[in-house]
Amino acid sequence: MSLIYKYILTFITITLPLVSVFAQSDFVSSLKKNLGSYTPQYIEAEIESAATSEHLYPKVMISEETYTLTQNAISYYDAISSLPSETKNAMLKAHSELVFAAEKTGISYPGELLWLPFAISAFGKDYERDGNCGVWGLQYLYAIKYGVEISECTDGRHDIVQSTKAAIRQLEYFHQKFEKWDLALAAYLFGPSNLRLMQVQGKETSEIYTTLDTYGKNYFDIWCAVISWAENYKNCKIEVKAIEQQYDTIRISDRIHIEQISKVMGINLNELKSLNSTFHCEVIDGRRVPITYRLPSGRKDDFARLHDSIVKYNDTIYFPPPKPPVEPKNYVVEGNGDKIIYKIQSGDYLGKIAQKFGVKVSDIQAWNGLSNTNITAGKTLVIWTGKKPSTSSQTSQPKASSTTTKPATQSSTSSSSSTAAFNTKDYTLVETYTVKSGDNPYNIAKRYSWATADEILKWNNIADPSKLQIGQKLKIYKKK
């Protein structure tokens, strides 16, 4: 055996137990934290007798199925056994609340199923991972399927009764489908289609679990470990009393932060959150649809009386007014401020640009020699916003023609007919222009600082600029 191979083998042998130890440590610390802050929603439980001498049960029963604890599961059992007595008592009380919730489902289920939330979420009511949440780590679609109430602001997966009902039904469904509880849990965690695919590939259940993430692959082992530990307490007597749900219900039809309610009404924030455990946001926005919210018993009238003060309390801090969007400056101003070099943006069109700068589309076309309204993002346009002539900075003065110096009023009959659309008394005929190859009204207009494309068309009684023909004569006028 080579030295490198020995090193790799030694590294793997040492590393794997370390990974397992870290995972157990993470689980135990989560369990202590979650159960240390555990507040029951529906029951109060008192343990009458819990003293016992714990020992490992190497085999556990889930319904009628027997499972032998793996070495990994035994390690988790040892970690649970080392927990302080207050954490163990909290586990028993939390389990009692799960029993209470499960009885409300009205369906039969194996009792061992109710120890599963300790494996999945370490009984964290605020647990959320990869979109799954609540003590059952319930997926959104499973929750909706079994009637859990979920909206923009509320999530019934954080409610013990709603989530327990949905989780039991989904797990029972997967058990009927896959016929074993270890596979039912794998389908619940991994998805039934993925599980089927891996079965088709010939993978054993243990291999399927190793494809899950670092923590997920331990879920079934932890479940077995918790069941083995709980076997020591199966005869433990626990007195359970339902908590009388005392609260007032209000309807909120505006936007309020729960801290505004807490500060103005003097209600403890944790008490508000406990009464409204399914709310996963701190802003209650009932402007579109009024939202039902709970307050401590006897405070409904106080809320109505203080409503305006609650809404206005630090409102600019909780709901700062939106800042107006800063439009990027995508143009450069030149000269005395009349000329603008505008860079065309994605989504621009000539009408939008013309409106932005208060000019006409036809002017933009004339200034830039555009024969149509097609423009390309990234290119630039020249735009004049002042009183300057439309193309003063881009054209040269035209040469006078020896043949076109007569005033329009002395022109022939044909001339007068072609200019009937405007008042010739105010104009002087300056030139007759012969249309060349590649010409259009817009680049012709660029030759004359005082003329626009629309005016040239009007002077020559032309309705369709595409009808210009090479050799055609155009009369060019100028105001007197």
pLDDT digits (tens, 9 = 90+) for 249-283: 999 999 999 999 999 999 999 899 888 989 988 99
pLDDT tens digits for range 427-453: 888 888 888 877 777 778 878 878 888
Compute the CA torsion angle 129, 133, 138, 141 (nearest 10 deg): -90
Mean local confidence (pLDDT), 405-421? 36
Amino acid at 455: E
Q: Read off the amino acid at residue 370.
A: L
Phi-psi region of 443 (alpha: psi -120 to 50; beta: other; left: phi over 0): alpha
**What are the DSSP E strand ranges found in 297-437?**
331-334, 339-343, 380-384, 427-434
How many CB atoms lie under 10 A from the CB of residue 308? 9
Using CA atoms, how far residue 135 sits from 51, 107, 126, 132, 376, in Å, is 27, 20, 7, 10, 56
Residue bearing tokens 């039991």: 168
CB 290 within 8 A of CB 250: no
- Contact predicate 228/270, CB 8 Å: no
Q: Would you tell me how many other CB atoms lie within 10 Å of the CB of residue 241?
A: 9
| Strand partners for 293 | 250
Mean pLDDT across the stretch 237-244? 88
User: Is pLDDT at 314 greater than 60 in this prediction?
Assistant: yes
| Residue-level pLDDT at 308 | 96
- DSSP 3-state assignment of 328? coil
The pLDDT of residue 295: 96
- Quick check: 444 and 456 in contact, CB under 8 A? yes
- Asked if 141 and 53 touch (Cβ cutoff 8 Å), the reply is no
30-76 pLDDT, tens digit each: 999 999 988 888 898 998 876 678 999 999 999 999 999 999 999 99
Mean of the per-residue pLDDT values for the chain?
A: 83
Closest to 90 (Cα-Cα) out of 142, 148, 34: 34
Say how far apart CA 272 and CA 270 lie, in whole Å. Answer: 5
pLDDT at 399: 36
Average the pLDDT over 179-187 and give the result. Answer: 95
Question: What contacts 24+ positions apart, CB below 8 Å, involve 304-308?
Answer: 306/264, 306/265
Residue 155's nearest CA partner among 128, 180, 181, 130 is: 128
Q: Measuring CA to CA, how many Å separate 50 from each of 86, 98, 333?
A: 11, 18, 84
d(CA 293, CA 283): 12
Q: What domains are there in the chain, each with its CATH number? A: 15-242 (1.10.530.10), 247-318 (no CATH), 331-384 (3.10.350.10), 408-479 (3.10.350.10)
Percent of the chain with pLDDT over 70: 84
Q: CA 303, CA 295: separation in Å to the nearest integer?
A: 9
Tell which residue, 136, 188, 133, has the closest CA to residue 161: 136
Query: In 43-107, which residue ranges form alpha helices assigned H by DSSP?
Result: 71-81, 85-103
- Report which secondary-structure segment, H or E, holds 43: strand 43-49
**pLDDT score for 97:** 95
